[in-house]
Amino acid sequence: MSLPPLVEPAAELTVDEVRRYSRHLIIPDVGMAGQKRLKNAKVLCVGAGGLGSPALLYLAAAGVGTLGIIDFDVVDESNLQRQVIHGQSDVGKPKAESAAASVREINPLIDVVIHNTVLSTENVMEVFSGYDLILDGTDNFATRYMVNDAAVLLGKPYVWGSIYRFDGQASVFWAEHGPCYRCLYPEPPPPGMVPSCAEGGVLGVLCASVGSIQVNEAIKLLTGIGDPLVGRLMIYDALEMKYRDVKVRKDPECVLCGKNPTQTRLLDDYEAFCGAISDEAAEAASGSTITARELKGMMDRDENIFVVDVREPNEYEIVSIPGAKLIPKGEFLNGSALEKLPQDKKIVLHCKSGARSAEALAVVKDAGFSDAVHVGGGVLSWIKTVDPSLPEY
Ligand SMILES: [Zn+2]
């Protein structure tokens, strides 16, 4: 699939620009017209971290005329193993400013816009609206879904990338011409199921591999050349040294870009959508979380337990853990569930992923059931580790 260029060409290149970009200009597919399009382009890089570092360096060198950098974080020593846009003397400085300084050093002919702030539901639409293309270098699901939703709602393309240990992924999401991130991943993974790079590590150079794919795609979209990564997911295995791509289809049922979208604006709270739990729930779950396998062991040993499924009835119908009694979370929050709980049994709560059951656990513990526990990863973990024959939902 080839797409028309995203950006109109600038009126002209200066003598300095012609000299600087000569190796682009002599590529027939890029040429003067392509370079003028890059000059006119406005690209926002979300995050000046692992992916943003190589991406910003190459976007700047390529002559993208306006480069926005949004990051609220400061440079930490542990960043330097992969975030090559920052150096030793930048430790402690805001990443957006440190990155901007490097960009200016590489290419003083372009404009750099610094957004030294947290990207939030309050500013994302306004910030994005100033750019032609977004490059997503974020490392958390809440921001990823927000970036996707804002880009779809504004009709803008964005280049997505993700990295973990030796594995990288990249794609271009542009609802007008293909799927969005929600078509690929309709729901975020259960909290705690996918470790972050801070928890699991990342090979520094992997950032360059994936970040350069992102810039490659950005340049293709801006200038309208080649076959963009729209509707395809690029998967890179650095250990095997293999790239493969899989087709990603637009989901006609996608809540955001499907035939009958039910989501027509940003969510109020992306942290909540991604299953972030309240402090009370986190405290209740601390030291009182068991695995699905441990629950199976308790059942097999016929222990004196009372298993409660706090999901909704329709979810219970699709798939449920044998013997679990359904009491939806709402009944815990309004207090009516408590009288249904036996006093002489150990209460074991679960939901789909562990977020709702942690909230219910806080109520149950507060009511005096001090030995109550909940199942981390919920039904999803049960399906994965105990009974894979059950349908996933
Ligand atoms: Zn979609």
**Average pLDDT of span 342-351:** 96
Q: Are residues 96 and 245 in the same domain?
A: yes
pLDDT digits (tens, 9 = 90+) for 10-48: 999 999 999 999 999 999 999 999 999 999 999 999 999
pLDDT digits (tens, 9 = 90+) for 217-248: 999 999 999 999 999 999 999 999 999 999 99
Q: What's the CATH code of the domain at 373?
A: 3.40.250.10
Q: How many domains does the chain have?
A: 2
Catalytic positions are 197, 351
Q: Are residues 217 and 366 in the same domain?
A: no
**Average pLDDT of span 167-189:** 94
Q: Are residues 221 and 319 in the same domain?
A: no
Collapsed DSSP state (helix, strand, coil) of residue 324: coil
**Average pLDDT of span 243-258:** 95
Instruction: Count CB neighbours of 286 within 10 A.
Output: 9
Last residue of a domain, one of 274, 307, 342: 274
Residue 280 scores a pLDDT above 90: no
CA of 185 to the centre of ligand 1 (A): 9
pLDDT at 191: 60
The percent of residues above 70 in pLDDT, for the chain, comes to 98
Element of type H or E holding 33: helix 31-40
**Average pLDDT of span 133-147:** 94
Instruction: Count CB neighbours of 141 within 10 A.
Output: 21
pLDDT digits (tens, 9 = 90+) for 262-278: 999 999 888 878 877 77
Domain of residue 21, residue span: 15-274
CA of 252 to the centre of ligand 1 (A): 8
Q: Are residues 71 and 199 in the same domain?
A: yes
CA of 79 to the centre of ligand 1 (A): 33
Of the listed ranges 108-117, 186-195, 229-238, the least confidently predicted one is: 186-195
CA of 155 to the centre of ligand 1 (A): 12
Q: Are residues 131 and 28 in the same domain?
A: yes
CA of 156 to the centre of ligand 1 (A): 13
Q: Are residues 295 and 153 in the same domain?
A: no
Decide if 62 is inside a domain.
yes
Residue 120 scores a pLDDT above 90: yes
Q: Are residues 21 and 111 in the same domain?
A: yes
